[in-house]
Amino acid sequence: MHRFVLQNQDSDSMRMLRHFGGATPDLVGTLEGQPTGTRVDIVSVDTVEAHVRTPDLGTVVEVASFMLAHLSAAPAPEQVEQYARAHFATVDGGYEFSCTQDFVRIR
């Protein structure tokens, strides 16, 4: 039995990564599409909701920029700021985005 953790494909953090050109292969979807009895079988996928909440724009830009820093063409802070304003702003003036995790067990 093997266990690993992946970002959920439907999380805000993965949508942001795709927006800025990052690859987001769907490993769980690929494994689920294989016939039973192949070399790898998914035993379970437990999805755990998680969120990053910040009271200000500067902090959310810092966190989001860190998450995007591995891209070969990482976006400028101004681009991340624009994205955060459009997608992560909350009604109370803060910012929030999901970074939901899939805990996968395979054999």
Q: Is the pLDDT of residue 7 over 80?
A: yes
pLDDT of residue 30: 62
User: Nearest CA to 3 among 38, 39, 35, 46?
Assistant: 46
Would you say how long the chain is, in residues? 107
Enumerate the β-bridge partners of residue 4: 104
Q: Is the pLDDT of residue 34 over 70?
A: no
pLDDT of residue 106: 77
- Measured in whole angstroms, how far is the alpha carbon of residue 15 from the centre of its chain? 7
Those residues whose C-beta lies under 8 Å from the C-beta of residue 26, and which sit 6 or more positions away, are 9
Computed over every residue of the chain, the mean pLDDT equals: 88
Residue 35's identity, in one-letter code, is P
What is the pTM (predicted TM-score) of this model?
Answer: 0.82
Q: Is the pLDDT of residue 95 over 70?
A: yes
Specify the DSSP class assigned to residue 9.
T
Token pair of 92, please? 């109370």
Q: Is the pLDDT of residue 37 over 90?
A: no
